[in-house]
A and B are shown apart, each in its own frame.
Chain A
Amino acid sequence: MLWACLRLVHLPLDALHAEDARHPHVVVEGSGPRRHVVLANEAAAKAGARPGQPLAGAQLLCPRLAATPRDEAAERQALEAFAAWAYRYSADVSLAAPDTLFLEVGASLSLFGGWPALERRMRGELDRLGFAYACACAPTAAAARVFARCRDGIAVPAAGALQAALATAPLAASGLAAGTVDTLQGMGLRVLGDLFRLPRPELARRIGQAALDHLDRLRGLLPETLPRWQPPARYERRIEFCYGIDSQRALAFPLQRMIREFALFLATRDGGTQRFELRLEHEDGACTRIEVGLLAPQRDAASLFDLARARLERVALAAPVHALALHADDLPTLSPLHRDLFDMNRREQLDWPALVERLRARLGDAALHGLACVADHRPGRAWRFVSLDAKSPAPMPVRAPRPFWLLQRPLPLRGAPQRVISGPERIESGWWDEGDRRRDYYVVEVRGGQRAWAFLESGSPADAAAGWTVHGWFA
C-alpha cells in the first residue's frame, strides 16, 4: 500500500473563488461579536490577520479587509470534485473532512510509471485547477497526512524509512487531538520521535489508548480503516448563458462540451448511460425537456452527441434559451459486446445498434418496426408491426398466392378485371369479433397488365362486371 495525501490548504478561500489575491480578504465563521477569522489570504496575513482572531481585531489591523462568511457546502462540493478527479488515478479514494483527500496509489504505480511520474502528472493537472494544495505520499494514510501537514512534496515510499521520517515531524502536525498535543508540549516533547522513544504503558496512561493507537497507525503497526469514496450514481451539469440563444445550431457547441464532460464522467465510472434528459431553460422559469433514450447503454462521446443533437433539432424553440442542463439518473454498467475472434458479422453487430439509435433520434422512436405474421385468415389481420428484434411466430402455411403489397384500405376496381388468373379462394372468418368477412379472393390481371389481389363479396359469380375490390398488388 502506498497512500498519497492531498491537502487543500486554502480550501475555505479557494472554494469561494476569491478573485483578487492582492486585496486583503478573510473567511470568517461564527455570528455577532464571536465572528472570527478562519483563513486569511496573503495580503490580509501580511497586514496581521491570523486564524482564530476575532473579526473586529483583524479589521482594526487592516481597515480595507473584506470578510466573507465560510461556505462549508461549497468546500464539500469542491472536495467531491477533487475526489472525482482523483478517481482516475486510483480506485481507492477517501475523503477526510474538511480538506483532505487520500488515494491509494500503490496499485496504480506500474500503470503510470512510478511515483515521481505520477506525481508530476497529478501536479500538472492540479496546478491548472487553481487550488493551493500540499501533496505527500507514505505507506500509511495517517503518515501521508502528517507529511502533507508539514510540507508539500514529501515522499517516503519505503516502509523501512517511515519511522525515521516520522520521528522528525513536529507534534502539531501529528494529527493527535489539540489537547493531547498541548499536554505533550507541556512535558517538553516537540517531535514524534520523542514519543516513539517513551515506554508504551507510561504513555498510554498519560495520553490514553486512542492516541496510542493513532501513533501505531502512523507507523503501520495497526491497520487503518478509511471510508471509500464512490462516484455519485447520478449526473447533473448546467451551463448558463450570458444571453438568450434562439438557434439550435448555436446550442450545439455548449451541448458538445457538456456531452464530452459527461462521457468522461461515464468513462471514469466505467459505466454507460441509457437515458438522459436535456433541459433548455427559458427566461421566465419555463423549461423545455428533451428525453434521450437509448436501446443499450453507451458512453461514446461522439455518438451520444449525435443522438442528442438530432433530438434537439426536432424540438422547436419556443423562447430563447438561457441555460442548458443535462441530467442523468440512470447510469447502468456498460457491458461491452463479446465477440468471436473469427466472427464474420463483426461490423454488423457493432454498427447496428448505433444505426438504429441514429435513425430513431431523427425519425422518432416509433419510426422503426419489424414485421410479423399473425395466425388469422383475414388478410388485414394476418400481419402486424412489432418492435425490433421481436420473435415472429411461424406463419400459417397458405397454399394460395399472397401479394407483396397489401392495401390498408381496399380500393374498388373500376369495371371488371381483364383476366382472372386464379381463384376463387374463399376467406370466411371473424364471426367472433365483429370483423366478420366472407370474401372470394382472386388473382386478376387488370387493364395495364398488372396483377392484383381482388375480392368479391362471397356469392357473386366470378364473371361479375362490378363489385371487384383490390386488396393487394403482386408487386
Chain B
Amino acid sequence: MFTSSPFEPLPSTGEAPAYASPPLVRTPLPVPPAPGPDIASRRVGLPSRRDDAALADVLGHPAIWRRGSARAKAADALSTGFDALDAALPGGGWPCGALSEILVDADGNGECSLLLPALATLTAARRRVALVAPPYVPYAPALAAAGVDLAQLVHIDAAAPDTHWSAEQCLRAGCCGAVLNWLPRTDYRQLRRLQLAAETGGTIGFVFRPLTAARETSPAALRLKVVAGADGARVEILKCRGRFESAQAVRLSA
C-alpha cells in the first residue's frame, strides 16, 4: 500500500499519486453518535479530530515521503567519507540494508577507492567486509594504507554460477558490514534478490557493473556512475531512493 520510493512505478489509476498531498476533506467514518463537538464537525463535513490524528500517524511512517518536504527522513546510512558525496546523498552516505550500484566503463576510474573510507570505518568497528569474486587481486598494501583492517576482510573465490549465490548468502546472513560484488552479467531478477537479501540482513551491498547497464532498470537503492576526470573521479548519481531531483554530478577531490 505504501510505496517506499517515489521512483517506483505507480499503478496509473488516474488518481492522485500516493505521495501527493492528502485530500483535505475525507468522508467521515461511520461512528456511533457521541455528544460534543464531534457531531457538529460531522455535520459540516469536516474530518473529525480522531481522523486527523490517524492520518498524521500514517504520514509519519518513515517509508512515506511527501513531495513538499525538503528531504526524506534520514535513513540509516554510512558516511562515504567524501563530504560532497555525503551532501548529495539523501541519508548522508551509503544506504544501509540496501544495494548500491556503481557503474564504470573500465577499470581504473577510481571506483573502488570510492569505498575505501567507508570500508575503513566498518573494519575499524570490527565489521567484516566480504569481497565476492573480484576480477583482480585487491592489493593488500593499498587497502592497509587506506586504513582498512585486513583482518576483517574476506576474499571469496566463486565461479560464475556461484557468484550470485555467494553474494546473496553474505548479504542475507547479516554478519558482514559490507559485501562487494562484481557482477558483469546479471539481470533485474537477480539484483532484486540481492536487494531483498541486503534488506533482510541489514547489510550494505555494493555491486560493480559495466556502464552499459545504466540503460537497464535496477532495483538498487542507489546507482552511481563513476567517470574518470582530469583531476579526480566524477560521480554521477543516476538513481537515488529518497531524492526527487534527477541526475546530479559530484566531483571528488583526487
Residues on B with beta carbons closer than 8 Å to the beta carbon of A371: 138, 140, 143, 150, 153, 155
> When the two chains form their complex, are residues A383 and B140 in contact, meaning their CB atoms are under 8 A apart?
yes
Within 8 Å of chain B (Cβ to Cβ): is A352? Answer: yes
Known contacts: A368-B156, A371-B150. The answer to whether A382 contacts B141 by CB under 8 A is yes
B52 on interface, CB distance cutoff 8 Å: no
Q: Enumerate A348-384 residues with CB–CB distance to B below 8 Å.
A: 348-352, 354-355, 358-359, 362-363, 366-373, 379, 382-384
Contact A449 B109 (CB under 8 A): yes
Q: Tell me if B155 and A450 are in contact (CB < 8 A).
A: no
Cβ contact within 8 Å between B126 and A407: no
The answer to whether A450 and B138 have CB atoms under 8 Å apart is: no
Tell which of A352, A354, A402, A445 touches B139, judged by Cβ atoms closer than 8 Å: A402
**Please, could you name 25 A-B residue pairs with CB atoms under 8 Å apart, sorted by A?**
A345-B127, A348-B127, A355-B170, A355-B175, A359-B156, A362-B162, A363-B158, A370-B153, A370-B155, A372-B150, A373-B140, A382-B140, A383-B140, A385-B155, A391-B151, A392-B140, A395-B140, A402-B141, A449-B227, A449-B229, A451-B110, A472-B139, A473-B107, A473-B108, A474-B113
Q: Are A475 and B143 in contact (CB under 8 A)?
A: no
Interface flag for A112 (CB, 8 Å): no
Q: How many A-B residue pairs have CB under 8 A?
A: 154
Residue of A nearest to B113 (CB): A404
> Does A128 count as interface, using CB distance less than 8 angstroms?
no
Name which of A347, A363, A388, A472 has the most chain B CB atoms within 10 A of its CB: A363
User: Nearest chain B CB to A173's CB is how many angstroms away?
Assistant: 61
How would residues 313 to 337 of chain A score, 1 for a CB under 8 Å from any chain B CB and 0 otherwise?
0000000000000000000000000
Q: Cα distance A89–B145 when bound, in Å?
A: 59
User: Which applies to chain A's interface (DSSP): helix, strand, loop or mixed?
Assistant: mixed
Knowing A383-B140, A403-B139, A408-B137 are in contact, say whether A450-B106 is a contact too (CB < 8 A).
yes
Interface residues on chain B, number (Cβ under 8 Å): 46
Q: Which residues of B contact A463 (CB under 8 A)?
A: none
Query: A18 in the interface, Cβ–Cβ < 8 Å?
Result: no
Complex: how many Å from CA A61 to CA B229? 107
How many whole Å from B16's CB to the nearest CB in chain A? Answer: 41
A276 CA / B107 CA spacing, docked (Å): 44
- Interface presence of A20 (CB below 8 A): no
A4 to B166, CA, bound (A): 53
Q: Count how many chain A residues have C-beta atoms less than 8 Å from C-beta atoms of the other chain.
A: 53
* B209 surroundings in chain A (CB, below 8 A): none
Where the two chains meet, the residues of B that have a C-beta atom closer than 8 Å to any C-beta of A are: 105-113, 116, 126-128, 134-145, 150-151, 153-158, 162, 165-166, 169-170, 173-176, 227-230
Interface residues of A in 287-302 (CB under 8 A from B): none
Give the residues in chain B near A241, CB-CB below 8 Å.
none
B37 CB, min distance to chain A CBs, angstroms: 49
Known: A371-B138, A404-B143, A407-B137. 7 other contacts (CB 8 A): A345-B127, A352-B175, A369-B154, A370-B155, A392-B151, A395-B144, A395-B145
Contact assessment for B151 and A389 in the assembled complex, using a CB-CB cutoff below 8 Å: yes
> Judging by beta carbons under 8 Å apart, are B141 and A395 in contact?
yes
**How far, in angstroms, from A275 to B127 measured CA to CA in the complex?**
29
- Max count, chain A CB within 10 A of own CB: residue among B142, B170, B173, B176: B142
Query: B108, A475: Cβ atoms under 8 Å?
Result: yes
A199 interface residue per 8 A CB criterion: no
